[in-house]
Structure formats: C-alpha cells, structure tokens
Amino acid sequence: MGLDLNGTTVTKNGNNLEVANSGAAALKFDNTGRFIRSGTHPMFYASNTGSSWVARSSVGWNTYPFNSTEINQNSCFSTSTSRFTAPITGVYLFTANAYHYDSLNTYYHPEFAVNGSPGGRMPYTTAYRMRGYYAADGHSTDAQICQIYSLIAGDYVEYMQYIQDGTIYYLGYTTHFAGYLLG
C-alpha cells in the first residue's frame, strides 16, 4: 500500500519508486533517482507509405498526411488526422522530414503547428519561427525540422508545409514525423 494522492499512488517496489494512476505505472525511479522508462512512455514514429510523388499547389498551410505508424505508444498519433495528441503535460521533442522538388519560382517551408497554429507554443518569445526555407527553383531538397515544445495534455501537433505559389511535390515514403516525451 502506497501513498494515495487523489487516485495517484506512490509506492516502493523493491529498490524502485513507482508513481501510478488507476493502477498503471506512470513513472518509475531506481534507487539512485534515475528515471526508468516504461512501455507507456508517449512516443510515436509515423510515415507515409506512398511510393509516388504527390503534387500540392494549395497556397497557404498544408498538413502532411501520414498513413502508417511503426511506433505509437499510448496511441498518441492518429493516422486519420495526421496529428500527435499529448496524453500528458510535459516537454516533447519532435522531428520531421520530407523530400521535395518543385516547379520553377516556388517558395515553401515546413513548420510544426500546435493546436492548428504554425509555430504555436514556442519556448521563446518569437511568435513565429521558420524552421526551413526553400526556394529551390526546380530542384530537389530535404525539408528537415526538429523542435522542443512544452505541451499541455490534449494539445495536438502537426507537421505542415507553407506554399507561397507554384506546385510542390513530395515523395510519400520519404516523409516521416516522430515525437517523444522528454519529461
């Protein structure tokens, strides 16, 4: 029997300290104070299984589609919405990549969006921060971004692309989106 704090229990299990909610271990620490990761630690790795180039010419923000997950602990990523939803409040690391080519004189860049707002909930005072800028003028490029966000349980994150003009093509199977709870 451990200490019960409104349904959250703290117990000692051997040399480990466990914090559980509704009986499921949420956090574990060993006798040196190190955090022990469990199978319920929120993380995902999503991809697109398409094997051909996909054209986009919609000016403005567009969400990349992801139809497959290789990792999806806590079912935190939805392939129907292409969104990660934070199951718990914490600090998360996100990374994404897409391989592109474009029509001539096309401007585009990738960005994460929090709750539908590109650049939302940034850990600094800048309201908007571009993570990559591409004016490839008929060439192929990788659009890789990485960002840390403080999220509140229920916040959602999407991998988006801004297109100013022209047509952008991305290669489906090269498109990836991953996230991990840091703490």
The structure's pTM equals 0.75
Domains of the chain: 3-36 (no CATH), 43-181 (2.60.120.40)
pLDDT tens string, the chain, 183 residues long: the values are: 676 666 777 777 777 667 776 666 666 667 776 666 565 789 999 999 888 888 887 888 889 999 999 999 989 999 999 999 999 888 899 999 888 777 666 777 788 899 998 866 665 554 445 455 555 555 666 677 888 888 999 999 999 888 877 788 888 888 999 999 987
Contact 156, 86 (CB under 8 A): yes
Are 60 and 166 within 8 A, CB to CB?
Answer: no
